[in-house]
A and B are shown apart, each in its own frame.
Chain A
Amino acid sequence: MIQIKDLHKSYHMGTNSLHVLKGINFNVKEGEMVSIMGSSGSGKSTLLNILGILDEADSGSYILDGVPIKNLNEKVAANYRNKFLGFIFQSFNLINYKTALDNVAMPLYYQGVKRQERIEKAEHYLEKVGLAEWSHHLPNELSGGQKQRVAIARALASDPKVLLADEPTGALDSKTSQEVMELIQGINDEGKTILMVTHEHDIAQMTKRIVHIKDGLIIDDNPVEQVRASLYV
């Protein structure tokens, strides 16, 4: 599903240049659930942004579902993001003047899906994350866990190949975190490939594979015994 070879990325700030990724080699197969761990500044978020076509690598190759992601113009990048990827952010990133339902329907709007179908699909995914009766609430009327679940529903709505989550539980308390993780595990159980950046060990233990990044290099890449979140709840 994802093949990465010798990926480099530097940031330039004035005269200083910061080499963040120093040659990452990394493969993810379909249906995997991978957590990327590392201290802040290790390059894990940069890697995720490159994987999400939100940012571009300086050198190296990145193949997503058989498609090389290289020198894309904005139009193609937007198209791939829409078709291949679903994003879950630490700060939810819901549009605050739109209802939960409209937020979930948003990626479908950019896919050119008709309004009626959008609403039906969005309702389906909201139901899936257990928020059917909150569909007409605005984000600020929802709790943090509910917001993240709306964001997950939104990420799922476009039926992406890969779900990318950047610290999905970073802004949640531990109980809510486990509820959200349970949901994400359920999605993985249905066969969706999931990549997640986190620095919490117990959250990482709930995935199937942990990749450690330090100073821009992968230092450790091991499968783990998945801990089911439902055990905590």
Chain B
Amino acid sequence: MFDIERWQEIFETLRKNKLRTFLTGLSVASGIFILVILLGFSKGIQNGVTSQFQRDATNTITIWTGNTTKGYKGLNPGRYVQLKNQDYNTISRKYDEYLDYRTSLYAIWGGTISYKNESGNYQIRGVMPDHQFIENADISSGRFINESDLNEFKKVAVIGNKLKRDLFKDEDPIGKNISVFGMNFKVIGIFYDPGGEREESQAYIPLSTAQKVFNAGDNIRNMLFTVKMSDNFDQAVALSKSVSQGIENDLKQMHTVAPDDTSAVRVYNTLEEAQKIYSLIATIQAVFWFVGIGTIIAGVVGVGNIMLIIVKERTKEIGIRKALGALPMSIVGMILQEAIFVTMFAGLFGLIFGLGLLELIGPQIQSDFIKYPQVNFNVALTTVFILVFAGALAGFFPAYRAAKIKPIIALRDE
């Protein structure tokens, strides 16, 4: 293998047969290149989609209400169904054993918040302590709302990172007072949210305080629950589906809503959605792998074909070499070494080119659905070796046969 004379002979052959070398190399390099790009984007789409749906806890049940669309038990359609603290307590108690985090929510969609000379319009949400975990809010400094804030109607606020940047710039907001509709709230914490800027431009205040300062009595807008996770994903989906169905039925009964009224009481179950997303991701991945493996097979067939043609074309040369005293094994070795060298070189070239391209354009992609396209280097390297091996195998048999036939027959080959 490390015979310098052999290498010289091979390089000379490759140099003198540039087109053949180029075409073999091209088919291998492009195969690997396409595979790397495909797998990279498959991973990118997976990353993108996953991060899109990662912003909240994936097993959340969200409940909100609207106007009735159907008359029921003598009540007219068009009636607004108002959720109350009482509803939350009933549901929370009834499904206690299945529920993990829970909160009810009273939100003002747009409220003016100001600090010193800076002010802006932000969403203000009255929430319970568990909301932090349901929203996946990450407290970067200070703390989230706690039970005592809730019980004592404290005027405290936890603000999003975007809001903090808008109002406070570089100043540390903890302990400072912000003005919400002219009322002073003390900032007790700052949060990040994987959901991005939209979620980070909110302020959380205790639910009890919100109901009081916004004159909401014991009205609530939403209820959010997370369902306890089961070991098995399908079980978890089934459980949260049955829990959300149960909650929907109970609320409809409590508020005298027709069972088939879909707009008065709405229960949204993210786990069921998540399942769809996961199966979508799995499908996308399967498609990319299918195409990728197809590409590899095409590459293997292509390389094999080229090797067959090369050996066929060189049958006469093999005869000449044998007549001049070449050993059969030296001929097989020469052809194989040449094939392996070309496919390996081209394969690695395609690999590096593909990885380089991903590395280069990956960060430039401004799409929420494709993030950090990347390839498992080992997978890519393995495919290079598969191609090299296939090329060598496809070259070996005809080369072996050609080296075995009598030189006189090989010489007659025109």
Query: Contacts A102-B12, A115-B5 hold; do A55 and B408 have CB atoms under 8 A apart?
Result: yes
Q: Complex Cα distance A89/B320, Å?
A: 10
- Size category of the binding interface on chain B: 20 to 34
Residues in chain A near residue B330, CB distance under 8 A: 110
Say whether A111 faces chain B, with CB atoms less than 8 Å apart.
yes
Asked if A97 CB lies within 8 Å of chain B CBs, one says yes
Residue-wise, chain B 155-169 has the 8 Å CB interface mask toward A (1 for contact) of 000000000000000
Complex Cα distance, B330 from A111, in Å, reads 12
Q: Is the CB of B9 within 8 A of A97?
A: no
Is A224 engaged at the interface, CB distance under 8 Å to the other chain? no
| With contact pairs A98-B16, A115-B8 given, residues A78 and B406 touching in the complex (Cβ less than 8 Å) | no
Set of chain A residues within 8 Å of B404, measured between Cβ atoms = 74
Across the interface, do A110 and B321 meet the contact criterion of CB distance under 8 Å? Answer: yes
Q: Are B323 and A83 in contact (CB under 8 A)?
A: no
* A97 CB contact (under 8 Å) in B17, B323, B407: B17
* Interface 0/1 of A81-113, CB less than 8 Å to B: 111000101000111011000100011011100
Known A-B contacts A95-B317, A102-B12; the reply to A49 vs B408 at CB < 8 A is yes
Tell me if A106 and B12 are in contact (CB < 8 A). Answer: no
How big is the A interface, by class? 20 to 34
Residues of A within 8 Å of B238, CB to CB, are none
B278-295 residues at the A interface, CB under 8 angstroms? none
| Cβ–Cβ < 8 Å partners of A79 in chain B | 325
Known: A97-B13, A98-B16. A54 touches B323 (CB 8 A): yes
The majority secondary structure among interface residues of chain A is: helix
A residues within 8 A CB of B5? 109, 114-115
Asked if A82 and B325 make an inter-chain contact with CB atoms under 8 angstroms apart, the answer reads yes
A52 touches B (CB below 8 Å): yes
Report Cα–Cα, A106/B324, bound state, in Å.
Answer: 7
| Contact A54 B408, CB 8 Å, known A93-B316, A106-B321, A115-B8 | yes
- Complex: how many Å from CA A74 to CA B12? 26
Residues of B whose CB lies within 8 Å of any CB of A are: 5, 8-9, 12-13, 16-17, 316-317, 319-330, 404, 406-408, 411
* 25 pairs, A vs B, C-beta closer than 8 Å: A54-B406, A54-B411, A55-B406, A55-B408, A78-B322, A78-B325, A78-B327, A79-B325, A81-B325, A83-B325, A87-B323, A89-B411, A93-B319, A93-B320, A95-B321, A98-B12, A106-B321, A107-B325, A110-B321, A110-B324, A110-B326, A110-B330, A115-B5, A115-B8, A158-B324
**Contact surface of A with B, Cβ cutoff 8 Å:** 49, 52, 54-55, 74-75, 78-79, 81-83, 87, 89, 93-95, 97-98, 102, 106-107, 109-111, 114-115, 154, 158
